[in-house]
Amino acid sequence: MAYCNLPLSQKPSGFTLPELLVVLALFAILMTQLIPDLSAATQQNRLYAIANAFSQQLQLTRNTAIQRNQKISLCKSDSGTQCSTSTQWEAGWILFENLDGDGRVDSVDTILQRYNPLPHGITLRGVGNFKNRITYKPTGDSTSFSRLLFCDQNQLTGSQVIYISSTGRIRIAKDDDGDGIPEDGNGDNIESCET
């Protein structure tokens, strides 16, 4: 006669359906809390990358002015051949030799580079003299001190600001207080994406 040596009370291995449902519910709750934070971080990183690329284009503009010993301008342009005052920076821009110093592309000026529009939803606004163009002198100086503001979907949170000093120095503003909005030169939050 053969005997079975199995214990009378075996503990099941694995999870029961109620245990699995509780774990899935907790996971879903955690994910709903994390996803907004991840999308905000992605938005901020995207804007920082765009602002960083633009600051490199500004540095190229400055270096070209010094190397060629002439005024070089970067202006907003939707056509890629002429500066525009009716469009915004996000439509695209051009880098050109501004031989006569008037800030417009004339027959004596040469377009050095054309830049594509920014991704949909990204706004770029220049303040003051930078509303339509940025010009560097042969010394590497800018025509004035001002700033450029990058926003995503017109939201200040995660926005990026580039400052250009009258000496031509380019700097991306920091968010020193950690609220997601960069500060101006006085330490106050930028107030609008449309400045």
pLDDT tens column, 74-109? 999 999 999 998 889 999 999 999 988 888 899 889
CA distance 67 to 4: 92
Query: Is 32 part of a structural domain of the chain?
Result: no
Query: Is 100 part of a structural domain of the chain?
Result: yes
* Structural element, H or E, at residue 137: none
Query: Is 15 part of a structural domain of the chain?
Result: no
Query: Is 185 part of a structural domain of the chain?
Result: no
Domain hosting residue 112, numbered range: 37-172
Domain count, the chain: 1
Going by the DSSP 8-state scheme, the letter that residue 189 receives in this structure is B
Residue 127 CB neighbours (<10 A): 16
CA distances from 70 to 23, 58, 114, 137 (A): 67, 15, 19, 6
- Going through 49-109 in order, the beta strands assigned E by DSSP cover 72-76, 93-97
Q: Which of 6-15, 56-65, 85-94, 102-111 has the highest mean pLDDT?
A: 56-65
CATH number reported for the structural domain that contains residue 53 in this entry: 3.55.40.10
Query: Is 106 part of a structural domain of the chain?
Result: yes
Token pair of 130 as six digits: 């930078």
Query: Is 86 part of a structural domain of the chain?
Result: yes
Q: What is the mean pLDDT of residues 2-24?
A: 72
Query: Is 191 part of a structural domain of the chain?
Result: no
Query: Is 159 part of a structural domain of the chain?
Result: yes
Residue 16: predicted pLDDT? 82
Residue 154: predicted pLDDT? 73
Residue 58 in 3-state DSSP? helix
pTM: 0.76
Question: Lowest mean pLDDT: which of 40-44, 74-78, 167-171?
Answer: 40-44
Going by the DSSP 8-state scheme, the letter that residue 187 receives in this structure is S
User: What's the start-to-end Cα distance of the chain, in Å?
Assistant: 94
